[in-house]
Structure 1
Amino acid sequence: MTSSPTPSVPSARTSRSRRLAALDAARLYLCTDARTEQGDLEAFLHAAYEGGVDIIQLRDKRLEARAEIAALELLGRIAAEHGRLFAVNDRADLALLVGADVFHVGQGDLTTAQARTILGPDVLVGRSTHSLAQAREAAEDPGLDYFCVGPVWATPTKPGRPPVGLDLVADAAEIGTALHPPKPWFAIGGIDTARVPQLRAAGAERIVVVRAITQAARPREAATMLRNALLG
């Protein structure tokens, strides 16, 4: 199996400090469904990590709980093989059951305190933000380990949500770096390789993608191209 160019995560996956170090080094975050239609989830996950993805989040609202747990257990095993992080969206109970590295929530989901009550201190917690006020609140929340800003551009993965544009990306860069220590944050929404230079110019160093890898004919190569564009 081809080794990934990204920094590896130490084997003791329950260590918060080690997860934080991996998050700090992370640049490329992928959200994917369970690829039920394609039937290739295992091969796809390997390809994404091999291509340079640092974090993979499974997000598939169509799955029943048992099917989601099975998919997450597969993701967790493959993430461990590659020394990478894996994330659960929205369901803190499932994150606890599968031993997730990362738990991600939206604006209307669990509060940080509620998530911590269920998951404890070791799991990394992130939140989506869609405005300057939300980004500032997330940056200042000591219980959050990272936040996402977007959608930068309109995307069918978030139907009906207006794009926030590059101005908010620039604001997030200023907010994130003003903290001591700086808090990691990711730009998300409509991102592909061609748009990465615009994001970098606005101050973004980390991105979340969906279609740029999930719809690629060669996911491994797509991930590598994105990572190379980020690192320039």
Structure 2
Amino acid sequence: MNPSNWQTYLVTQASLSGDRSTPDIVRAAIDGGIDAVQLREKDVSARSRYEFGLEARELTAAAGVDLIVNDRVDIARAIDADGVHVGQSDLSVAVARDLLGPDAIVGCSTSTVAEAREAEAAGADYLGVGAVYGTSSKDVDERKDGIGPERIAAIADAVSIPVVGIGGITTDNAGPVVEAGAAGVAVISEITAAPDPQAATETLAAAVERSKGTGDGGREE
């Protein structure tokens, strides 16, 4: 359970999965070698999110894949997830840590060096940084222009905890994110909306792996 080892990170969103369920996507991503899964599902009810989470927890636990819940500490506790991911307008890192305990993984969304340093000081285990290339999905970030790999590099240089790039990332543009210093990349549609989510995960993982050693991604501090 070490975010520095997360090279590929799936963020779930049922609305992009077509006629497939979130557990279907999670299962395929696991088969493709995903390292971590974040249960997001902001457009479904809390009960549905919990039910998706129970299935996802069973799948991820069997595969040794970390399961993180976006924002909802209560659901994270209810499904025995590995941790929670909070944004700038959610519960603070410190509160999430108090509620989940010292062994939980607590991640935080940031887009500036100041936010990143603050999250690290508050006890975050990793940072979700973006939107890197911009995105039209409000579930990822309101920023549409993207902060670019350059900001990834600045934040990775400013903190000692792992950085995961998110926002507009595809197999074709994941390389510069890792080369800039990110431990890995988080995606939604690149896997969820793909005709073959397992193959998409495998292809993304291969692209990230090729970029390791080119830059500072996954470095140990």
CA contact (8 A) 1:205 1:230 kept: no
Structure 2 residue runs without a partner (length 5+): 211-221
Cα distance per residue 1:166-207 (max 9 Å; x no partner)? 22011122123xx3xxx1110111000110222233222311
Q: Which has the higher mean CA deviation after the structures are superposed, 35-44 or 47-56?
A: 35-44
User: For the residues of structure 1 that align with 2:133 and 2:35, how far apart are their CA atoms?
Assistant: 22
CA contact (8 A) 1:34 1:59 kept: no
- In structure 2, the residue matched to 1:201 is 179
Matching of residue 161 in structure 1 with residue 143 in structure 2: yes
- What pairs with 1:53-202 in structure 2 (closer than 5 Å)? 53-141=34-122, 143-158=123-138, 160-162=142-144, 163-176=146-159, 179=160, 183-202=161-180
Query: Share of identical aligned residues, percent?
Result: 37
Deviation, structure 1 residue 64: 1.8
Query: Following superposition, which runs of at least 4 residues in structure 1 exceed 4 angstroms of deviation?
Result: none
CA contact (8 A) 1:187 1:206 kept: yes
Q: Which has the higher mean CA deviation after the structures are superposed, 87-96 or 202-211?
A: 202-211
Cα 1:185–1:200, aligned 2, differ >3 Å: closer, same or farther?
A: closer
| TM-score, structure 1 as length reference | 0.83
CA contact (8 A) 2:112 2:155 kept: no
| TM-score, structure 2 as length reference | 0.87
Q: Which has the higher mean CA deviation after the structures are superposed, 161-170 or 208-217?
A: 161-170
- In structure 1, the residue matched to 2:19 is 38
Cα distance per residue 1:119-166 (max 9 Å; x no partner)? 11121000000112112222333x211011110111122364141122
CA RMSD of aligned residues (A): 1.7
How many residue pairs match? The answer is: 206
- In structure 1, the residue matched to 2:207 is 229
Deviation, structure 1 residue 37: 5.1
Cα distance per residue 1:85-123 (max 9 Å; x no partner)? 111111111111111102000001111221122211121
CA contact (8 A) 2:132 2:166 kept: yes
User: For the residues of structure 2 that align with 1:213 and 1:26, how far apart are their CA atoms?
Assistant: 16
